[in-house]
Structures are given as C-alpha cells and as structure tokens.
Chain A
Amino acid sequence: MKPIIQINKLSKTYLLGEHKVEALSEVSLNIHAGEFVILSGPSGSGKSTLLQLIGCLDTPTAGDVTVLDLNVNKASDRVMSNFRARSLGFVFQNFNLIPVLNVYENVEYSLLLGKRSYQKKDITDVIEQVGLGKFSHHKPNALSGGQRQRVAIARALVHKPNVLIADEPTANLDAKTSSEVLSLMTELALENNTTVVMSSHDPSLIEKSDVRQIKLVDGKLVGDEPRALSNVI
C-alpha cells in the first residue's frame, strides 16, 4: 500500500543572523494511512520542524515531502492552503483558538474553510463528542486549558481530515487532563480512520504509548519503532 506521507532525505536549515542552523538533516520515512505516530526527542531535535513540513506550513531546504499526492516542495501557497483546509487537521500546544469566536464558531470555522456542505448537527455532534455540549456558546477565555484543547481537537477533526498534525498537544496540560485529551484525540482519529502525527517530549507519555515512535536528535532520525495503533488508548 502506498504511504500517505512520504519523506525523502528531508533537510531544513534556518538562518539565525549570519549562522545557519540545521533543524532537520536528511530525514527519510514513510507513514501509512491510519497510523498513529509519535515524534519524540528533546527540545530542538527537529520535531516541530518536521510537523510543520508535513503540515504544509513550511517548505524544505532540501529533499521531498509528499502528503497524500501533494508535493510540498512544488505546491503554491494557494494550493497548500486549500490542501490544509480540506485534508489536514491541526492541534497546537497553545490551543490557538480564535478568541472572538465561541466554541461552536471555532469548530465551524474549519468547515467553512473546507468549502464542503455541512449541517449544524455535524458541529454539535463533534462538540458533544469532546464533552463540551454545554459550552457551545462560551468564548475560549471562559474555558479551562483542557477544555480549550478539546475544542481544538473538535476543530481539527470536524471536517474529517486525512491527517491530524498535533504539535505537543499535552504540553500545557496536567497529567490527568493530558491523558484524557490524548485518549479523546486517539478515539476520534480511529473513528474517522485519520492518520495522526503527534510530537511530544513528555517521557511518561511516550513510555505509556505503545504506538509507532520516531525519535529525532539534533535534526537526525535516530529511531523508528512501529507499534499497533490500538495500544495507545
């Protein structure tokens, strides 16, 4: 079966003043549809950079990234924006909800961008699934950190994306909430057969998870351990 994400000798170099910083160095890997992958490694190992490239938020300095059939190197900004809106979902460390929109509107925003027809029920159902049915009309600043991340998960999955990109989604949450949020994310992803690529530097979370772990150190791929998706829950 053809991988959903193909990464071939991927490098990314940033310029910090006059200094070149190599965030990723010749990383190659494939991810198949339905896989749950955790990118692990210490701070500065290149996890977020790899997620940004897979998420079509940035372009590589060298090498290739192909997500579904889109080659990130060659796509225009317009094409990448459309692709993100239709095929990808994002969960960020800092939740990144739109402060002036309420829970319902934040979730609906993804559907509006995807330009697919939808019904109000599609939104209320996913809000119910993340356990925030009573908070539909609350603004993000009236919610706790865990609740905000649940809204972000609902927003990321409401349009049923092919790939969910989650950059340190539990970093700002306590251990109990982290576990709940992770379970929720995994459950919803499984339900929709969504491929999940998540980064984390939380050792306890990584140890508990029995899923495919890709380890990065100093921008290089140093470990790749395939596991079964069901074991993460």
Chain B
Amino acid sequence: MMTMLAIITGVMGIIIFGGFTEANYSGLRESVIRSQYGHMQIYQQGYLEGHRKEPSEYRLSSEEVDKYIEIFEEDERILVASQRVEFAGLLGNETSSQAAIIRGVQPESESLINSALTIFDGDELTDDDLNGVLLGAGLAESLSVEVGDELTLLASNDDGIMNAVDVVVQGKFRSVSTEYDDRAMMMHIEKAQELLGIDSVESIVLLLSDTKLLPDVVESIEQQSATQGLNLEYTTWDKLATFYHKVVKLYDGMFVFINVVIVMIVLISVTNTMMIAVMERTGEIGTIRALGTQRSSVIWQFICEGGVLSFLSALLGILLGVAVASYINSIGIMMSPPPGSSRGFPLRIEFVPMTWFITVSGVVLVALIASYFPARNASRKNIVDALRYV
C-alpha cells in the first residue's frame, strides 16, 4: 500500500510538473514569438554576419521587398509578413534623454505579430499614426513621460549625419522581457525611413498560423530561394530567443532533479516491498520449489508482481495527476513573473500523453529492476529451510 502510494504520488508529481513546464515552454515560446521575433525573419544575404559593421549594405531594397512579400502572400501558412527597420537613437525632451533601440514597423500588420505585447497605457499604433510612438514601460518611466507628450528622436543616417524628428507618445507597452522594455521604442516604418533617409527595410518578419509549421515553411522558403535565385537569408525565433532557452534550461534542470528523486523513491519502495514479500512468503516459495517450480520461474513471478504493482500504481497516478491538473487549470491561479519577465502568467498544466507514456514505462522499468534482486534471493533460498516457515 505504501509502495503504491509512493509511486502514485511520484507519478502525479511528474505529470503535474511536466505539464506545468510544458505549458510554460509553449506559453513563453508563443509570447516571445508574438511580442518580438515572429516565427522567422528574412534578411538580405550576408546580413547576419555583416550588418553590425555596415548596416546600410545589408538592407532589403523596395524591389526585393515587393518580390518577397508577393511570394509570402501566396503561402497560406504565413499569416503576416511585416517589414521592419531597427536602429539605435537618442530619445529625449527638454528635461531628459535616453538611448533607445528603435523599431520601425508597419503598425497594423505588426500588431498581429505583437499580440503578446500589452499596451497598458494609451493606444496601439495604426497605419495612420505617422508621428506616434510606443514606449517600453521602463523607457517611459526613465524619461518620465506620459501619453500625449512630445519627444525628439535623434539618429544618424547612413552618411553619418544626425537627423531629428518629433514624435508623440501614443502608448506604453510591456513585453515578456523587462530588459527589452527598458530600451525599446516602436514607431511607424515610414517615419523611421524618413529619419534615416532610406527607402529600404532591414527585415521582413513572418508570423505563421501555427508554430508547428515552421520547419515546413523554412524548407519551402529554402527551395524557392534556390530555384528562384533569391538573395536572402533567414533566422528563426529560437535562434534569437536566448531568454526562452535560459528558462527552458532552468526548468529542464528542475524536471531532471524531480525525476531522479522519484526514480529513487520507486526504486527503494519497490525493493523494500519485494524484500518483505519474499520474507513473508518464504514458506510459499519453499512449497512451490518443492513441487518442482524452477528458480527462473520464481524470479519471473516476483518480477511480474513488481511490474504489475508499479504499472497499476503508475496508471492510477496518471489518472489522479490528470484530475488534479484539470482542477488547477479550472481555478485559474496567477503566478508571479518569472526572472527577467515583466508579467505574471496564469498557472496552466498541459496534458502531454508522451510524458505519461514515458513515465509509466520508466516507473515499470525501475520497478522491474528493483524487483530482480529480491526475486533472485527468493529463488536461491534453500528449499528445506524455506519449507519450515509455513
């Protein structure tokens, strides 16, 4: 009974924590995709290696942009293809100034990519808001500005000449990363191009209808690039999202630790139970051996018992784990923001059948190993001595 309880509790722990981490992974993944990176970013060939030294050399021309957008619009898996320009600038007013990372965007298509951004003050940008800007929460706070305030944005163009434009704070936002919010500003791409004196764009960001489609879309873009001789290169969200990978690494470490603890619990409990069973059933072992049961059959019998005990316990653990997880999902508990993040999130536990399958298989395997040594001891008992225990 205690062994069953230990296995049930352990399996519940794996199901709930495994589902929790999976929910976090998928939640964070979608937040990162839908607040910063999109699923893919398309650049001019050589951009990733050379754009820091010569940003002007690695922009997509308006002709290239038109051609690529036409290709992407034909693909039903791609929901949005939005153009961006990114640069550094100085943002300020009469009283203070701050360095900022500025993203020039197509407001209405970008709003789909940025669906995980929260505008907590003011309004979203629209295609008509040429002078409006959105400030990250930290940047707005450091400049002490409110919605409707005017700011001046200074940036150097490709020739190194400083230009300035006046902008109006239209809203403030929070993303999943406080670091990003401390420095980020978004503005209309046309205003950004005016400031920089260019008509090219830095990247085209693609948002897909489903993250699972990414490998297929990557493959078809590669094929089209090769057959049509497109001068492009790309990166995917997972190569850009270092924060996501840090969180995954943290949770994976915890998950491994919990699994190791549970494996130890199962190993010790099952071994203990089997040792007691062998001790209590010494007389029975003596009897069946006397009647002609082979040693291997005695081992097999105890291993089967350990296997059945652990299998049933693991199944029960999964049923109870799913029930507890469903209850937790239904009551909507809010979690505090994770490290480096600015927002809390609802506690959600995903149902991952593959985790269930691996857990049951793992628990049964550990139980079989744990049963083997007591079973071997049982089979080696002296028959005459064992018969005296009846």
Contact = CB atoms under 8 A, between A and B. Distances in A.
Interface of A: 52, 55, 57-58, 77-78, 81-86, 88, 90, 92, 94-99, 109-110, 113-114, 155
Contact of A58 (B288, B291, B292, B384): B384
Contact of B291 (A77, A85, A94, A95): A85
The 4 lowest CB-CB distance pairs between A and B, nearest first, are A85-B292, A84-B292, A96-B287, A94-B390
B210 interface: no
A96 B384 CA distance: 13
A52 to B, nearest CB: 5
A113 B293 contact: yes
B290 interface: yes
B304 to A, nearest CB: 14
Given A57-B383, A92-B387, A94-B390, A114 B287 contact: no
Given A57-B383, A58-B384, A98 B292 contact: no
B294 interface: yes
B291 A84 contact: yes
B384 A113 contact: no
Given A57-B384, A92-B387, A86 B292 contact: yes
B291 A110 contact: yes
Interface residues of B, number: 17
A92 B390 contact: yes
Contacts of A88: 292
Contacts of B291: 84-85, 90, 109-110, 113, 155
Given A92-B387, A96-B387, A96-B390, A84 B284 contact: no
A98 B288 contact: yes
Contacts, number: 56
A57 B290 contact: yes
A77 B289 CA distance: 10
28 contacts: A55-B290, A57-B384, A58-B383, A58-B384, A77-B295, A78-B295, A81-B294, A84-B290, A85-B291, A85-B293, A88-B292, A90-B290, A90-B291, A92-B387, A94-B390, A95-B390, A96-B283, A96-B286, A96-B287, A96-B290, A96-B387, A96-B390, A98-B284, A98-B287, A99-B284, A113-B291, A113-B292, A155-B291
Interface in B285-321: 286-295
Contacts of A155: 291
Contacts of B293: 81, 85, 113
Contact of A81 (B283, B287, B289, B390): B289
Interface string B319-344: 00000000000000000000000000
A78 B384 CA distance: 16
A69 B184 CA distance: 94
Contacts of B383: 57-58
